[in-house]
Amino acid sequence: MFSKEIYNQRRSVLGKALYSGLLLFLGNDEMGMNCKDNTYHFRQDSSFLYYFGLDQPNLAAVMDLDEGKSIIFGDEMSVEYIVWMGAQPTIAEQAAQVGVLETQPYDELEAYLQKAASRPIHYLPPYRANHTIKLHQLLGKPLNVVSNHASVELIQAIVQQRSVKSAEEIAEMEKAVNVTGQMHIQAMRQAKAGMKEAELAGLVEGMAVASGGNLAYPVIMTVNGQTLHNHYHGNTLQSGQMVLGDYGAETGLHYAGDITRTFPVDKTFTSRQKDIYNLVLKAEVDCIEALKPDMLYRDMHLKSAKIILDGLKTLGLTKGNMDDALEAGAYGLFFPHGLGHQIGLDVHDMENLGENYVGYRNGIERSKLFGLKSLRLAKELKTGYVLTVEPGIYFIPELIDQWKVEGRFKEFINYDAVEKYKDFSGIRIEDNILITETGYRILGEPIPKTVKEVEALRAEV
């Protein structure tokens, strides 16, 4: 964990933003996979980590703003527990490490909240069902209103605070990107025709764990890059195909990396692959180089979409006026997702608090247009934000068939040419970028990205 001064300071900022009442933070619990006792790896809630740093199950915390104190609720371990799980410092010792001076047994939480029932109790929206049940029980609210009664004030204050990364957070995120970069480099070095996707997925998952952390999100490692969140790893790599790898390490302190690279199964890209690859690369690099504080990220999304439309026109896949095609959303056929999102303790940072609180604001509302509506971050960038830039071009047979039958955007899309790309799959390129006062900084050591750099690695196979 970080030093206790950091947690004290974080809580102090949050307390000043909310003024009064109680702020309730439920830590995460162990989660059964196929049985209550056979658990998934434990992942603490990110806001709990941010304000209270303690990385273990069965804890809750309250910031009592009226009393000017924080309390951690948790139970001491029995010797029997130590036999199974090992000795640990007492709850009071752990709380002291993050600057919290008062602790109480977990069961006292309910009484504490009941005594405070006349005061506002702010809590975050639950994303695990056991928290829904717990909030229902603790606060006496019906199950179906628990989520709706989450505190918008608390959400907004946390989003504002967590969006701006501090120096120690940025250092941790560089670590995450550097481990992730090594994972990508090894995958590019070891992939070869005849190998299963699962072998490469295992390689990079093992590296994330070996680094002392974990995966930040489920590995995408696929020869079918046109499926955006493809977690099937049963295919065998074949000559002529490309591998799209989208994965990231999470450090021991739970900061995420999120990097995508696409490379050929052969030592070199085909000429058709190279054309599309260089177009995606141009969209990524040009957008990164344009980043600076106060710009709308939605404008960057549109910039990348325009680059893609223009490039595809050169290749004969689109036609007509590309400004009009952009406005109409015709690029959604090739680029159906958003340009990027904030990243930090979560790979999609803070999205458990509500995607629109994180990426939108009053006046910058979510579009209903296919493609643009999937943009997770649209509002102004600020110094200290860390975000992904991840344009892609995909040829999705089912989507092409549907749009073609409907005649959608037939004035902008050359369906006859697009038909010939149905076997192409997809390409995405992604880096993690810090917004600085003067512009931007790409986090981590450079990870091979140009056709030349990627092919140089592939030549080593």
Applying CB under 8 A, the span of 10-18, 108-116, 343-351, 430-438 interacting with a second copy comes to 343-351
The tokens of 224 are what? Answer: 């079918």
Shortest CB 241 distance to a second copy, Å? 16
Cα separation, 70 vs 23, whole angstroms: 9
Q: Site for a second copy (CB under 8 A): which residue of 3, 19, 20, 85?
A: 85
Q: What radius of gyration do the chain's Cα atoms show?
A: 24
Q: Which residue has the tokens 């006349």?
A: 118
Contacting residue, 26, 46, 159, 431, with a second copy by CB under 8 A: 46
142 binds a second copy (CB under 8 A): no
Which segment (9-17, 132-140, 169-177, 450-458) binds a second copy by CB under 8 A? 132-140
Encoded one letter per residue, x for contact with a second copy by CB under 8 A and - for no contact, window 200-219 reads -xxxxxxxxxxxx----xx-
What are the structure tokens assigned to 122, written together? 């702010």
38: contact with a second copy by CB under 8 A:
yes
Closest CB to a second copy among residues 351, 390: 351
Smallest gap from residue 110 Cβ to a second copy (A): 15
Identify which of residues 46 and 104 has a Cβ nearer to a second copy in the complex: 46
Between 21 and 332, CB nearer to a second copy: 332
Q: Between the CA of residue 4 and those of 8, 53, 94, what are the distances in Å?
A: 6, 9, 11
In 3D space, the residue among 315, 276, 234, 265 whose CA is nearest the CA of residue 429 turns out to be 276
Q: 388: which 2 tokens?
A: 């992904």
Is-contact 279 308, C-beta < 8 A? yes
Q: Are 196 and 232 in contact (CB under 8 A)?
A: no
Does 369 help bind a second copy (rule: CB under 8 A)? no
Using CB under 8 A, which of 6, 96, 116, 228 touches a second copy? 228
Least Å distance between CB 188 and a second copy? 16
CA distance 297 to 191: 35
The alpha carbon of 10 is separated from its chain's Cα centroid by a whole number of angstroms, namely: 22
- Site residues (CB under 8 A) for a second copy, limited to 256-315: none
Region from 10-18, 34-42, 282-290, 412-420 binding a second copy, contact rule CB under 8 A = 34-42
> Is 127 one of the binding residues for a second copy (CB under 8 A)?
yes
- Least distance from a second copy to the Cβ atom of residue 402, Å: 5
Q: Which of 229, 272, 382, 420 binds a second copy (CB under 8 A)?
A: 229
Helices 108-115 and 129-139: crossing angle in degrees, nearest 10, is 50
Q: Tokens 């400004």 identify what position?
A: 323
Q: At closest approach, how far in Å is the CB of 446 from a second copy?
A: 24
**Distance in Å, CB of 33 to a second copy, minimum:** 5
Contact status: 154 vs a second copy (CB under 8 A): no
Judged by CB under 8 A, which stretch of 27-35, 98-106, 159-167, 168-176 contacts a second copy? 27-35
At 24, which amino acid appears? L
Q: Which range in 9-17, 33-41, 270-278, 301-309 contacts a second copy by CB under 8 A?
A: 33-41
**Contacting residues for 73 by C-beta, under 8 A, at least 6 apart:** 59, 60, 61, 62, 103, 104, 105, 106, 108, 109, 112
184, 208, 241, 243, 454 from 201: Cα distances, Å: 11, 11, 17, 11, 19
Number of residues this chain uses to bind a second copy (CB under 8 A): 71
Q: Smallest Cα–Cα separation from 235: which of 264, 420, 243?
A: 243
Residues 394-453, interacting with a second copy (CB under 8 A): 396, 398-399, 402
Q: Interaction with a second copy in 173-192: which residues (CB under 8 A)?
A: none
**Nearest distance from residue 415's CB to a second copy, in Å?**
16
Distance CA 461, CA 236 (A): 17
| Binding residue (CB under 8 A) for a second copy from 172, 246, 266, 351 | 351
Between 23 and 201, CB nearer to a second copy:
201
> 63, 14 in Cβ contact below 8 A?
yes
Please, what is the Cα angle at 172 between 167 and 177, to 5 degrees?
120
Distance CA 381, CA 293 (A): 5
352 binds a second copy (CB under 8 A): yes
Binding flag, residue 145, a second copy (CB under 8 A): no
**For a second copy, which stretch binds (CB under 8 A), given 43-51, 264-272, 293-301, 382-390?**
43-51
Of the ranges 90-98, 274-282, 391-399, 447-455, which one interacts with a second copy (CB under 8 A)? Answer: 391-399
Helix (H) or strand (E) holding 114: helix 108-115
Is the CB of 31 or the CB of 116 nearer to a second copy? Answer: 31
Sign of the alpha-carbon dihedral angle for 29, 388, 397, 305: positive
